[in-house]
């Protein structure tokens, strides 16, 4: 026990355990089977892209600019309104799934259960995507972009994915807005951006989502929640130390203050979910106490990852 001086610095934690053992991979395989049952009659790479292109399914109009292909001018609209609008179609292509995994210190807080859960989610969704012949890329982040798994395709790349995830380390504060801007600048190819985070980013998590949106990525936010964060077992006179920033705050925790904290915690996540909803971004709060495969199946059902 430290009696004097500054609190012990929280060292970044390395997940020494191999989280993706054989049993885990079997569960992933069964997930893939179940996910296929959920989406019957689906062809390979049949996912619709948000990217407008030369597909066959109409997507939207846009004003004609010189140089556009005349074949896509909507003459019916011109006949009615004398406006030159170009028809755009959903482009049929293989989807690129980017997994942005929060590896900040707060994700490793406690015994690192949130980070482990996040890795499991990333592994499961990535594996399903690989099984569906989608491209999968993983990008770790904290206050800056961390290790990256370049877009890869095919189920035979699953082991590479799992090894990459297993090697990820945690540490540092979260700055998702900055990270998202760097990410969109680096990734030329658009796609689905699965953001897995505990949401403890008060520097602009929403701006990060907006940055993805503006760059025409399709963000999906998975908020990993630890019940112990929601209702910490703290009481009495304490100095709280932020695991990410090492900021301290002296506080006398009473039952009333704990109640107010629980309300603030709920309000924070409700705010994030509401923000995402308003921006038509899918967001899911996932408790780490829930088995990850159940959570993944629900995401597959409700999240529209598979069609």
Partner 1 sequence: MRLFGLTPFALTLALLGFGAAVVALYLLKQRPRKVVVPTVQLWESLLGKRDAAALFTRLRRLWSLLIALAIVALILFGIADIRRDAPSTSRNLVVLVDASASMAARDGEPTRLDTAKERARTLLEGLGPADRAMVVQVDAQATALSPLSDDVVSLRRALEDVRQTDLAGDLEPAARLAVDVLAGQTKPELVLVSDGNLAGIERAEQLLKSVPELSIRYLRVGKETRNLAITSFSVRRYPLDKTHHESIVTVTSFAPQDERVRLTVRASGALLYDETLLVPKGESVTRTLTNLAGADDALEARIEPLRGPDVLASDDRAFATLPPRARTRVLTVTEGNRYLEAALLLDEYLEVDEVTPRAYKGAGDHDVVIFDRFVPEHMPSAPALFLGPKPQGGPTALTLQGEVLRPFFDKIQREHPLVRLGAWADVNAARAMRIATHEGDTVVAATGDNKPLIIEGTREAVPFVALAVDVRESDLPLRAAWPLFLLGAIDRLSGDNQTSVERSEAGQVVLVSLPEDAREAEIVSDSGERERLRPRAGSLRIVRDRAGLYALTAADMSARLAVNVPALREGELAPKARVLSDAETEAPTQQHASLIGQRFWPLLLLLALIVLALEWLTYHRRWTQ
Residue 285 lies near partner 1 (rule: CB under 8 A): no
Residue 117 lies near partner 1 (rule: CB under 8 A): no
Q: 258, 234 in Cβ contact below 8 A?
A: yes
Cα 137 from chain centre = 12
Q: Which of 202, 278, 280, 307 binds partner 1 (CB under 8 A)?
A: 202
Q: Which of 32, 38, 215, 241 binds partner 1 (CB under 8 A)?
A: 241
Q: Which of 227, 234, 289, 304 binds partner 1 (CB under 8 A)?
A: 234
Report helix, strand or coil for 227: helix
Shortest approach of partner 1 to residue 138 CB, angstroms? 23
Q: Which of 113, 232, 293, 301 binds partner 1 (CB under 8 A)?
A: 232
Residue 109 lies near partner 1 (rule: CB under 8 A): yes
Residue 275 lies near partner 1 (rule: CB under 8 A): no
Shortest approach of partner 1 to residue 234 CB, angstroms? 6
Kindly report each contact of residues 293-302 with a partner whose C-beta sits within 8 Å and lies 24 or more positions away, as own/partner: 293/27, 293/30, 293/31, 293/124, 295/121, 296/31, 296/121, 296/124, 296/125, 296/128, 297/31, 297/34, 297/35, 299/125, 299/222, 300/31, 300/34, 300/35, 300/38, 300/128, 301/38
Write out the binding residues for partner 1, residues 4-43 only, by CB under 8 A.
7, 10
Of 24-32, 36-44, 124-132, 225-233: span binding partner 1 (CB under 8 A) = 225-233
> CB-wise, 143 or 187, nearer to partner 1?
143
Interatomic CA distance for residues 86 and 103, integer angstroms: 43
Q: What is the largest CA-CA distance in the chain?
A: 82
Query: How many residues line the site for partner 1 (CB under 8 A)?
Result: 38
**Virtual torsion, Cα 154, 155, 157, 163, nearest 10 deg:** 150
Give the binding site for partner 1 (CB under 8 A): 2, 7, 10, 106, 109-110, 198, 200, 202, 226, 229, 232, 234, 236-245, 247-252, 254-257, 260-261, 264-265, 268
């Amino acid at each position: 026990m430290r009696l004097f001086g500054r609190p012990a610095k929280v060292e970044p934690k390395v997940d020494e355990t191999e989280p993706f053992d054989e049993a885990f991979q079997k569960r992933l395989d069964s997930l893939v089977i179940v996910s296929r049952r959920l989406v019957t009659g689906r062809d390979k790479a049949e996912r619709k892209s948000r990217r407008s292109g030369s597909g066959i399914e109409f997507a939207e109009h846009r004003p004609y600019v010189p140089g556009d292909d005349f074949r896509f001018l909507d003459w019916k609209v011109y006949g009615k309104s004398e406006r030159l609008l170009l028809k755009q179609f959903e482009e049929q292509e293989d989807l690129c799934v980017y997994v942005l995994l929060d590896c900040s210190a707060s994700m490793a807080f406690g015994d690192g259960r949130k980070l482990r859960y996040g890795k499991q989610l990333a592994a499961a969704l990535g594996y399903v995507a690989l099984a569906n012949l989608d491209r999968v890329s993983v990008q770790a982040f904290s206050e800056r972009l961390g290790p990256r798994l370049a877009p890869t395709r095919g189920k035979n790349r699953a082991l590479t994915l799992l090894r990459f995830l297993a090697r990820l380390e945690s540490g540092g504060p979260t700055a998702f807005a900055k990270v998202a801007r760097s990410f969109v600048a680096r990734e030329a190819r658009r796609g689905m951006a699965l953001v897995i985070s505990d949401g403890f980013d008060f520097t602009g998590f929403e701006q990060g989502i907006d940055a993805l949106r503006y760059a025409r990525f399709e963000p999906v936010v998975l908020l990993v929640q630890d019940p112990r964060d929601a209702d910490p077992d703290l009481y009495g006179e304490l100095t709280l130390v932020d695991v990410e920033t090492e900021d301290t705050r002296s506080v006398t925790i009473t039952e009333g203050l704990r109640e107010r904290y629980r309300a603030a915690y709920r309000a924070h996540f409700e705010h994030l979910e509401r923000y995402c909803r308003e921006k038509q971004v899918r967001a899911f709060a996932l408790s780490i106490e829930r088995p990850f495969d159940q959570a993944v199946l629900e995401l597959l059902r409700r999240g529209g990852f598979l069609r």
